[in-house]
């Protein structure tokens, strides 16, 4: 280990020892065949904890229980069906080529590697493309009501970053319908007694015994009771960390505590600065807001994005003639037009607004106009495709998008960073697995639209159930999965750490609310580590984050008690983790002196203003090791190799 700078140290290189070699199209088949199996009669002797009930967690819990394992599952919502996956709108990708437009597993693989700006693993992405075909069959069998064409075949539409129509959808509520499918499968296992469900319960720490993940410490959010739970393996399916920015498209309670506490227990955190800005969100309306609202990327299939050509043009959109409008995405990227990837569309929107050509209050918006689609297709056809989205927009803004263009602006949406996992989805802590948005593995520096649902279901239904058994079989054979008792020192230490932290928050007699700290931290992070980053801005942000963090423990005030429902305590506990995470995000963005995908360093751009990668110096996964409170983290580099998709400067022109 060597010292690289004042804000991090460099550790040993990291390799994915679970990744198979050989032809890429054979790797997943080989890995499944080579994996050790658990006898069906022995599976019921193994307990698996699953944290989260979204698409990844719900699919994993249902599938593992169906295989015969005993599953203990947790969600902080009052019902598994209220997980944030319900909010996904536009669709799910799969390489079925129903449109006969040239799609294939190879093309989905290529588009995803390119869309991630060559910062993802080829092996993982190819597996995802392969499994995508199986996901649709699984969901149709569960009764998911995908849209269909007149002849009865499943319908598809286009999404950003691709030139084929591979996105399956259920109007503007695809996530809800897919989650209901997983929830029904999970409910069947709950009724059968194979899944023990704990709603309104939040994981607050990981229990590591003899170097292996053997359980969690969780708090009942209604009674305040803190208890340890034990298992042979732990699966984190707790989603992403976008709410560190305070204003995002995520549900207000979505948080990073589960993955962050696992990070503090030894799980490396990979690429934390890779956060996605979604280009089609309803612009913020004031300081009172606690979250932002996503408008599906699918709207870009028929909506055209434009701003006035002249800066400061305050006329109503209907009063601006066609020749005085700038359809800037169609002008800059004629091959893809309004369907360029999210990172590119977001930066383009920011650029025109920075030029003074933005629309709406404060000039922080661009138009998404459906006039051409309404004239071409008619109102009924547009309503059939997007009616619920139009209704949602009108309820929030009091503007009718059938009559006036929508106003949209980019917002924090998805996080491509997460816990580092190997090909088996196992973290650097043996026995701890991370799936869905909780891991970093498949999207590189930018997620293409309609790929989050694909990855969550791939991990939960198909990948984890094949690889987890290998870990359990090897662990049982080695005698490493014996009983863990409540009086074990590691259990006592983890429970004490949780209760001591909660007591510290409750006993602090400060003068500021957790919300006020979260709002200030989020604004700081958005400005310095949001749509664009600079070295100076990141350094100043880190200094301010450290000051805020110290002030938090001096001035935060949490009313109420710990033996009851106390949402202020929940938020304070999460915000404390956000400070540490925000610091790591800035360190990661500061060390990565290049631009790629959603990470845009203003010092690193092409003459045309696009992201300029530096593959020679930064063609790796940055996996960060927690070295102790107050100590600089340790950077471990996993070098990326590209044998099937040669890295080039991304172009969507």
Catalytic residue positions, numbered: 342
* Residue 32 CB neighbour total at 10 angstroms: 15
C-alpha to C-alpha distance for 625 and 93, rounded to whole angstroms: 33
- Write down the number of H helices and E strands in the chain: 18, 22
> Residues 169-173: contacts with CB within 8 Å, 24+ apart?
169/90, 169/91, 169/92, 169/298, 170/144, 170/145, 170/146, 171/147, 171/384, 171/385, 171/386, 171/387, 171/388, 172/89, 172/90, 172/296, 172/298, 172/386, 172/387, 172/388, 172/389, 172/392, 173/89, 173/388
- Show the beta-strand stretches assigned E in 396-503: 406-415, 418-419, 432-434
Q: Are β-strands 406-415 and 325-326 bridged in parallel, bridged antiparallel, or unpaired?
A: unpaired
* Residue 480 CB neighbour total at 10 angstroms: 16
Contact of 526 with 533, CB cutoff 8 Å: no
For 557-621, the DSSP string reads B--S-SSS--HHHHHHHHHHHHHHHHHHHHHHHHH--S-BTTB-BTTSB-TTS-B---HHHH-EE
Kindly report the backbone phi and psi dihedral angles of residue 624, in degrees, each rounded to the nearest multiple of 5, phi listed first: -100, 130
For 348-411, the DSSP string reads HHHHHHHTT---SGGG--EEEE-HHHHHHH-HHHHHHHHHHHHHHHHHHHS--TTTS-EEEEEE
DSSP secondary structure code for residue 436 in this structure: G
C-alpha to C-alpha distance for 45 and 67, rounded to whole angstroms: 12
Which three-class secondary structure state does DSSP give residue 114? Answer: helix
Kindly report the backbone phi and psi dihedral angles of residue 450, in degrees, each rounded to the nearest multiple of 5, phi listed first: 70, 15
3-state secondary structure 174-235: HHHHHHHHHHHHHHHHHHCCCEEEECCEEEEEEEEECCEEEEEEEEECCCCCEEEEECCEEE
Q: How far from the centroid of its chain's Cα atoms is residue 214's Cα?
A: 25
C-alpha to C-alpha distance for 462 and 538, rounded to whole angstroms: 40
Q: Which residues are paired to 236 by β-bridges?
A: 51, 434
C-alpha to C-alpha distance for 67 and 55, rounded to whole angstroms: 18
* Tokens (6 digits) for 463: 């990948």
C-alpha to C-alpha distance for 608 and 635, rounded to whole angstroms: 32
C-alpha to C-alpha distance for 630 and 634, rounded to whole angstroms: 12
* Residue 192 CB neighbour total at 10 angstroms: 10
Q: How far from the centroid of its chain's Cα atoms is residue 452's Cα?
A: 7
Per-residue b or e along 372-387, where b marks 16 or more CB atoms closer than 10 Å to that residue's CB: ebbeeeeeeebbebbe
* Tokens (6 digits) for 16: 């994915």
Maximum distance among all Cα pairs of the chain, rounded to whole angstroms:
75
């Amino acid at each position: 280990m060597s010292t690289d700078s004042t804000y991090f140290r460099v550790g040993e290189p990291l390799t994915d020892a679970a990744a198979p070699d050989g032809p890429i199209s054979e790797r997943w088949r080989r890995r499944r065949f080579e994996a050790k199996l658990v006898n069906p009669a022995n599976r019921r002797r193994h307990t698996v904890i699953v944290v989260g009930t979204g698409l990844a967690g719900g699919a994993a819990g249902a599938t593992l229980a169906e295989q015969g394992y005993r599953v203990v599952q947790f969600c902080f919502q009052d019902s598994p069906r209220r997980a944030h996956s319900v909010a996904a709108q536009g669709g799910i990708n799969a390489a079925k080529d129903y449109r006969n437009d040239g799609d294939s597993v190879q093309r989905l693989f290529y588009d995803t590697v390119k869309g991630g700006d060559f910062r993802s693993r080829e092996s993982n992405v190819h597996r995802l493309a392969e499994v995508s075909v199986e996901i649709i069959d699984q969901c149709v069998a569960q009764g998911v009501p995908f849209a269909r064409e007149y002849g009865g075949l499943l319908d598809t539409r286009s999404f950003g970053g691709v030139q084929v129509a591979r996105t399956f959808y259920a109007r503007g509520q695809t996530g809800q319908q897919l989650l209901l499918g997983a929830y029904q499968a999970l409910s069947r296992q709950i009724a059968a007694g194979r899944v023990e469900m704990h709603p309104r319960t939040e994981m607050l720490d990981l229990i590591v015994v003899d170097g292996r993940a053997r359980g969690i410490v969780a708090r009942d959010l209604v009674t305040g009771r803190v208890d340890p739970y034990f298992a042979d393996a732990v699966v984190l399916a707790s989603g992403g960390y976008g709410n560190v920015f305070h204003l995002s498209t995520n549900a207000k309670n979505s948080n990073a505590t589960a993955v962050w506490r696992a990070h503090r227990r030894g799980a490396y955190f990979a690429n934390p600065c890779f956060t996605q800005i979604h280009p089609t969100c309803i612009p913020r309306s004031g300081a009172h807001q606690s979250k932002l609202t996503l408008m599906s990327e699918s709207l870009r299939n028929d909506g055209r994005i434009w701003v006035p050509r002249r800066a400061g043009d305050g006329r109503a959109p209907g009063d601006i003639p066609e020749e005085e409008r700038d359809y800037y995405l169609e002008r800059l990227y004629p091959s893809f037009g309004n369907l360029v990837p999210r990172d590119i569309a977001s930066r383009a929107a920011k650029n025109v607004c920075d030029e003074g050509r933005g629309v709406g209050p404060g000039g922080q918006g661009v138009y998404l106009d459906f006039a051409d689609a309404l004239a071409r297709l008619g109102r009924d056809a547009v309503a059939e495709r997007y009616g619920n989205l139009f209704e949602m927009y009108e309820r929030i803004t009091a503007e009718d998008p059938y009559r006036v263009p929508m106003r949209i602006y980019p917002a924090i949406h998805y996080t491509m960073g997460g816990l580092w996992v190997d090909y088996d989805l196992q973290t650097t802590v043996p026995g701890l697995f991370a799936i869905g948005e909780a891991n970093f593995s498949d999207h590189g520096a930018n997620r293409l639209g309609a790929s989050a649902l694909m990855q969550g279901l791939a991990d939960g239904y198909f990948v984890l159930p094949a690889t987890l058994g290998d870990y359990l079989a090897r662990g049982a054979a080695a005698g490493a999965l014996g009983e863990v008792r409540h009086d074990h020192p590691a259990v006592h230490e983890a429970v004490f750490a949780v209760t001591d932290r909660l007591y510290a928050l409750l006993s602090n007699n400060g003068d500021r609310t957790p919300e006020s700290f979260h709002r200030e931290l989020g604004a700081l992070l958005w400005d310095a580590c949001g749509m664009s980053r600079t070295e100076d801005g990141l350094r100043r942000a880190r200094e301010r984050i450290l000051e805020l963090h110290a002030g938090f423990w001096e001035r935060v005030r949490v009313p109420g008690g710990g033996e009851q429902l106390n949402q202020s305590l929940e938020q304070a506990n999460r915000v404390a983790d956000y400070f540490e995470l925000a610091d790591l995000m800035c360190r990661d963005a500061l060390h990565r002196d290049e631009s790629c995908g959603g990470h845009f360093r203003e010092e690193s751009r092409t003459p045309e203003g696009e992201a300029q990668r530096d593959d020679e110096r930064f063609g790796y996964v940055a996996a960060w090791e927690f070295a102790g409170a107050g100590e600089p983290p340790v950077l471990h580099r996993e070098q990326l190799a590209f044998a099937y998709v040669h890295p080039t400067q991304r172009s969507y022109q």
